[in-house]
Amino acid sequence: MALRFLPLVCAGEIFELKAELNSDKKEKKKEAVKKVIASMTVGKDVSALFPDVVNCMQTDNLELKKLVYLYLMNYAKSQPDMAIMAVNTFVKDCEDPNPLIRALAVRTMGCIRVDKITEYLCEPLRKCLKDEDPYVRKTAAVCVAKLHDINAQLVEDQGFLDTLKDLISDSNPMVVANAVAALSEIAESHPNSNLLDLNPQTINKLLTALNECTEWGQIFILDCLANYTPRDDRESQSICERVTPRLSHANSAVVLSAVKVLMKFMEMLPKDLDYYGTLLKKLAPPLVTLLSAEPELQYVALRNINLIVQRRPEILKHEMKVFFVKYNDPIYVKLEKLDIMIRLASQANIAQVLAELKEYATEVDVDFVRKAVRAIGRCAIKVEQSAERCVSTLLDLIQTKVNYVVQEAIVVIKDIFRKYPNKYESVIATLCENLDSLDEPEARAAMIWIVGEYAERIDNADELLESFLEGFHDESTQVQLQLLTAIVKLFLKKPTETQELVQQVLSLATQDSDNPDLRDRGYIYWRLLSTDPVAAKEVVLAEKPLISEETDLIEPTLLEELICHIGTLASVYHKPPSAFVEGSRGVQHKRLPGSAGSGESVESPDTGSAAGVSDAPPAVILSQGDLLGDLLNLDLTPPATTGPPPPATSGMQLGAMDLLGGGLDSLPPIPLRADTPQSPQIPHQSPSPPDYSPTELGGDLGGSAAMGAGFGAPPAATAASFSAPVSGGLDDLFDLGGGVGMPMGGYSPPKTVWLPVMKGKGLEISGTFARRAGVIQMEMTLTNKAMSVMTDFAIQFNRNSFGLAPAGPLQVLTPLSPNQSIEVTLPLSTVGPVMKMDPLNNLQVAVKNNIDVFYFSCQYPINMLFVEDGKMERQVFLTTWKEIPNDSEAQFQIKDCHLSSDAASNKLQSSNIFTIAKRTVDGQDLLYQSTKLSNGIWVLAELRVQTGNPNFTVCLKCRAPEVSQYVFQSYEAMLKN
């Protein structure tokens, strides 16, 4: 049965074709080759005819030659020895008087991916690159890229790359475009090669060629222009003026490439410039025109417009109507238009937008209706003046009694209550009327939250919540957690009437539930209520943080990169290329010039090391063109073990993966507690509950100093699994047992807020750095000010100046409940990837939990990097001091420091700044000191202390003088604190 489908050529047919291919008649020969190609196209094996087809190459007939070349490309790989027979013909054809044949020969040779043939290709290719005919030159330019893919070393040795660069100055625009395309292709596979050395002269040549190219040539040139960073705003404006005509091109790909260039170069134009306003107006019409294309093109355009309006909403602020949904739009276009409508909503157009959204909410498409109702809520949160009208619209929709409309409306009204407290609570009665119709977890949880939050305004709140309690075990976790919190809130507001109800829910949550989140929250509430009802009130009824309208925007760093990829797949997926392109090829991170500073690389100073001091080269001096790191390239997979940190090459490899994927799901789970307590009792009535330690209960909800440390500690059942040391000198990550005899270490600055609540979607992170027993530690307080439990925490750093990297996973061993704080200590290693930052001590961090990935930057004091073996021998100190040139010396004043020289020396020694010698001259103490950074850089110092004078002078010498400023800051902080 299966044999019917095998595309075999019978022996008789092969014999006939062989005879025809060797025929003396040209027409018969051509027909035979056509038959061979036809058989090959449908998958039949005609490789046996290889020598016969190759013999047909010796012809002047262009059509026959093309067919033979087509056959060769297909079978050369399987018959490399036979393919060499054709080489002489190729070489001969490359010198044919007909330019079409010359181009055909060099194109075919480039497509034959056989190593044995490539060496014969070099000479013909060199001639074709300098051919008098532009068609041959443009074909040869592409051939260089193909040859580079087969044998990169050969291309470099033969000097083809230099010839390609010369072709950028070619008089023919298509040759220029193909040269740019070939160089771009090669540069993508070798990101550090700097092949496209763009300068104003080159850019001028590309812009001149731009007007006369084909549409594909224009796209290549525009993409190349987008990688250029102009020197100043005048050059930026000049390029924009010459690119703007491309906006009126018929091809949508050309339009989007032009938009990409303009969006990037606009960053450098002053906003008060007249041309800036003109450019904004010119960008709108082409984007609007794209929306009149077929649906698939519309969708691509809308995804790109979504990015553009997040960066510059003023471009399309007057074009709201083009985003109104049409009845025949596919659902994917409708949903994208809806999203852009919300982004463009403002006080000026909100009436129009709300009228449209109300109309959409009566459509038949359920998904679209849900999104429309949510959009009304987003409008209320974004445009405060419209909130009342939005609430009124939502109430009208609730009156329709359409089940899914009512449920979505209740979910968004909950958010409106959060945004505008004590303003629209009069609608609660209407919401309560629809309680019985709610069957979706999110809507039920929202309604329960409303009843619990405003229990004092609802007479029968206890009855309403009790009705939910009847099927407690059938509810989803989201509803159970919300119900538990709502009943505790109700009890704190009406203690006498709801005592039995709260006992019932605590019993259900702690005794009958298998869910650890629910049990732990139940225990915490129970402990709070039984020990300190006043504290319980402060915690459970604490003021909620306001909701921000910015929560649905793309993270700024990612948005900048996506703007640089407009018109590519990245702009449709809204993901960086590294998230979906395998391997390193094509994954280059791009930034907008305005946000990434000047774009100029910092020159590396002399990094030589003093003889006899350190053999290791100082890693900090490795300079990168892009000073700001890019967190989007982080591979957030945690280390597989909690053992010593791995080498730099393995543990911190920057991978290409989706940040929002499951990269952190391999964090160790927390085993369930085996024992369950007896039913909790309410205070003033019965004995206190069994004595569970704060560690078991998840710590003190209020985050007090007494119990906060308990959050970092694992329960007894799990302590063993986390006891492996992370690095030398630490018994465990959380100082639980090995910390008694440990030296305290040097100065550590007070904690500051690194991730504010609004940026962290309810998560606040404050922290500091410390060095204890030779280990750098990142000490953080995580506070949950959101409404939901936070779990699955993990952390990753971007490349930084000194290679700081987590020495193990971030271990938050209990879920972080609302209004709870937890203390976490993360040991750090200095073997991560290095990239020079600005400022030098800047650290970019990504923290992930079950809600999202959050990014923030913090600065570590440089004294964290001062190592314990930083005391230099006197003779070496003297030699090194003389060797370091005077221009690498920096002098600073430390004011208002009331310490003796001995006290200062002792204080500095606790932070690994060692005094080598001391002498007194004219009543002034001179302390000669040394310290060594973790990457091998030595810093030498002379500290002058005058008795009775509170102002100290410190003179620093270092082979990397840019470090001196940061070392001085540490000196000042240590001596003054």
pLDDT tens-digit series, residues 912-966: 899 988 888 877 888 899 999 988 888 999 988 888 788 888 999 898 888 888 9
Q: Which pLDDT belongs to residue 620?
A: 36
- Containing H/E element for 105? helix 99-111
Q: Which pLDDT belongs to residue 12?
A: 66
Q: How far is it, in rounded angstroms, from Cα 366 to Cα 364?
A: 6
Mark the ranges of the chain whose per-residue pLDDT is less than 50.
1-8, 584-586, 595-744
Q: Which pLDDT belongs to residue 43?
A: 80
Q: Give me 911's structure tokens.
A: 């932070």
pTM score over 0.75: no
Q: Give me 449's structure tokens.
A: 């939250």
Q: Which pLDDT belongs to residue 185?
A: 84
Terminal Cα-to-Cα distance of the chain (whole angstroms): 88
Backbone dihedral region of 264: left (phi > 0), alpha (psi from -120 to 50 degrees) or beta? alpha
Beta-bridge partner residues of 769:
778
Q: Which pLDDT belongs to residue 559?
A: 87
Q: Which pLDDT belongs to residue 161?
A: 84
Q: In degrees rounded to 5, what are phi and psi of residue 942? A: -125, 115
Sequence-distant (6+) residues with CB within 8 A of 818 are 485, 784, 785, 786, 787, 788, 789
Q: How far is it, in rounded angstroms, from Cα 894 to Cα 629?
A: 32
- Containing H/E element for 943? strand 938-946
What 3-state class would DSSP assign to 218?
helix
Q: In degrees rounded to 5, what are phi and psi of residue 327? A: -60, -30
In DSSP notation, 253-269 reads: HHHHHHHHHHHHHHTTS
Q: How far is it, in rounded angstroms, from Cα 257 to Cα 263?
A: 10
What 3-state class would DSSP assign to 803?
coil
Q: Are 391 and 380 in contact (CB under 8 A)?
A: yes
Say if strands 805-806 and 853-859 run parallel, antiparallel, or are unpaired.
unpaired
Note the pLDDT tens digit of each residue in 304-357: 999 999 888 888 888 888 889 888 889 999 999 998 988 888 888 888 888 888
Sequence-distant (6+) residues with CB within 8 A of 884 are 610, 940, 957, 958, 959
